[in-house]
């Protein structure tokens, strides 16, 4: 008997509540798409930038660089 590999696409409805949270987080991590954690320190940095901009100040580049580093792990 000869075997052949066939590729096909199917659509399946799934209930995400049936999956374990850790499994979902592992999948997101494998895609580099994890959401920000609650303990993410970016909120404080964003607030500092917000207050500086609200007061008309433009010296928030240091905070912006820190936010980029914390969020993306990249530096300009």
DSSP per position, 54-74: HTT----HHHHHHHHHHHHS-
pLDDT score for 39: 54
Model pTM?
0.46
Residues of the domain holding 36: 16-72
pLDDT score for 44: 86
**35 vs 74, which has greater pLDDT?**
74
- Tokens 């207050």 map to which residue? 51
pLDDT score for 12: 92
56 in a domain, yes or no?
Answer: yes
35 in a domain, yes or no?
Answer: yes
21 in a domain, yes or no?
Answer: yes
Could you give the number of structural domains in the chain?
A: 1
Beta-carbon contacts of 25 under 8 Å, excluding residues fewer than 6 positions away, are 34
pLDDT score for 18: 92
9 in a domain, yes or no?
Answer: no
3 in a domain, yes or no?
Answer: no
What tens digit of pLDDT does each residue of 17-68 get? 999 989 988 888 888 777 665 556 678 888 899 999 999 999 999 999 988 8
């Amino acid at each position: 008997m000869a075997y052949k590999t066939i590729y096909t696409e199917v659509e399946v409805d799934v209930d995400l509540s049936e999956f374990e949270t850790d499994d979902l987080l592992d999948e997101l991590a494998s895609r580099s798409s994890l959401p920000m954690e609650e303990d993410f320190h970016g909120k404080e940095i964003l607030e500092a930038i917000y207050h500086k901009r609200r007061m008309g100040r433009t010296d928030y580049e240091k905070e912006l660089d820190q936010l980029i580093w914390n969020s993306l792990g990249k530096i300009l």
